[in-house]
């Protein structure tokens, strides 16, 4: 039973255009949502997060949108750059800061390729 | 700071062999985690620790053991390696201040069991 799904295994975008990565979840009790980025042969690195009490969070070129009624999370990268080419994982957490002890549940990942 | 370091980077084991994956962090984080990532899949939590001497199971703990004798180290033990344990293993750490805090990941250990 997959609680977090990234239905697009890959996405190809031209440099300068917008990249939109999507994530769906099943449990309405999740209260924190995150995006991690992973380059080959490296560990994931934190990119951006959003609390369930918000619907948008922005950090430079990266914006995360949360649609709680649809249980849908998306990451927008504008403008996309070749260095953004990586695997992007969405992750969720229940009771952040409480008894979940920071445990993350990850989606399968989406491979983003940004062409020059 | 070196952050989270993992050794070895690569390892090939035969079925039934045992090994310990090492993980060390120098950020004085109290929370530490072990994840595995299978091809085309997301990371799955094996074990976690909220402080020295305290560990608990994650989503996929079978076939693994952990210990946490110091704040810095969180080794993962495979006692009887099986082909199903072929995966990339990531260690992570974070501090807790009552709200969510970012997890910092090591570079991973790629393990193949033949």
Contact residues on chain B for A102, CB-CB shorter than 8 A? 31, 33, 48, 94, 96, 100-101, 103
pLDDT at A95: 65
Nearest Cα neighbor of B107 from A111, A112, A85, A40 is A40
List CB contacts (< 8 A) between B94 and chain A: 102
Output the six-digit token pair for B19: 């090994």
- Whether the per-residue pLDDT at B99 is higher than 70: the answer is no
- The H or E element containing residue A78 is none
- The pLDDT value recorded for residue B55 is 95
Question: Is the Cβ pair B33, A9 closer than 8 Å?
Answer: no
Average pLDDT over residues B48-77: 95
Say if the Cβ atoms of A96 and B100 lie within 8 Å. Answer: yes
Q: Name the band, by pLDDT with cuts 50, 70 and 90, for residue B98.
A: low
Tokens in use for B11? Answer: 């390892």
pLDDT of residue A31: 84
Angle in degrees, CA A6, A9, A11, rounded to 5: 105
> By three-state DSSP, how is residue A84 classified?
helix
Q: What would the mean pLDDT of B81-94 be, rounded to a whole number?
A: 96
What's the average pLDDT block by block, 10 residues per block, for chain A (116 residues)?
A: 89 98 91 93 94 94 97 97 97 72 89 97
Residues of B in contact with A96 (CB under 8 A): 99-100
């Amino acid at each position: 039973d997959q609680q977090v799904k990234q239905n697009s295994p890959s996405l190809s975008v031209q440099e300068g255009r917008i990249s939109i990565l999507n994530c769906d979840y099943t449990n309405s009790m999740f209260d924190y949502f995150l995006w991690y980025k992973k380059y080959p042969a490296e560990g994931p690195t934190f990119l951006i997060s959003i609390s369930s009490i918000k619907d948008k969070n922005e950090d430079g070129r990266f914006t995360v949108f949360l649609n709680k009624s649809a249980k849908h999370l998306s990451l927008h990268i504008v403008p996309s750059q070749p260095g953004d080419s990586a695997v992007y994982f969405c992750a969720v957490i229940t009771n952040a800061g409480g008894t979940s002890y920071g445990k993350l549940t990850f989606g399968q990942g989406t491979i983003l390729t940004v062409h020059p | 700071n070196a952050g989270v370091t993992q050794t070895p980077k690569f390892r090939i084991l035969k079925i039934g062999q045992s090994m310990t994956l090492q993980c060390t962090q120098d950020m004085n984080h109290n929370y530490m985690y072990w994840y595995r990532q299978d091809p085309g899949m997301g990371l799955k939590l094996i074990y976690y620790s909220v402080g020295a001497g305290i560990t608990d199971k994650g989503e996929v703990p079978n076939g693994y053991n952990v210990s946490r004798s110091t704040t810095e180290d969180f080794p993962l033990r495979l006692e009887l390696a099986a082909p199903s344990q072929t995966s990339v293993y990531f260690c992570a750490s974070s501090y807790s201040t009552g709200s969510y805090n970012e997890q910092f990941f090591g570079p991973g250990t790629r393990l193949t069991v033949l």
